[in-house]
Each structure stands twice: as C-alpha cells, then as structure tokens.
Amino acid sequence: MKFKVALKKTDEGFSVFVPGLPGCWSQGKTEDEALANIADAIEGYMEVAESLCKDCDMREIQVA
C-alpha cells in the first residue's frame, strides 16, 4: 500500500504524519529515520485497525 505522509523539519529533526490515518504520527532525527519510523507506525496502525474489524463485513470502494 502507498500512503501520503506529511514531513516537517523541526528543531529536533523531522516530524511526520499520515493525513489519511488520524493519530498516526512519528518523528526522527533525520528524514530517512522519520520515514522509516512512520512506516513502522503505519504497520502498527493497520494491525490494530484489522483486529478491531475482524468480525466486520468489509467492502472496498474507489474514490476518484
């Protein structure tokens, strides 16, 4: 899967979040570290979302 992330330079390094996944934030001292950390955060986010929906009837929709 591909996710758009917002990356911002800070005094401590870089902060990064996923606009499409509320509350999915991370940071790193370098841009590469921040991007690796947000990849881990996305994986964790998706695991939790999947476990919360394990008894749900899932559908896919396409949005232009």
CATH numbers and ranges of domains, the chain: 6-52 (3.30.160.250)
Amino acid at 43: E
**pLDDT surpasses 90 at 58:** no
Measured from the Cβ of residue 16, the count of other Cβ atoms closer than 10 Å reads: 23
Mean pLDDT of 2-25: 97
Which of left, alpha, beta for 12 (phi over 0: left; psi -120 to 50: alpha)? Answer: alpha
Mean pLDDT of 13-41: 98
Element (H, E) at 48: helix 31-52
Burial category of 64 from C-beta neighbours within 10 Å (exposed 0-12, middle 13-18, buried 19 and up): exposed
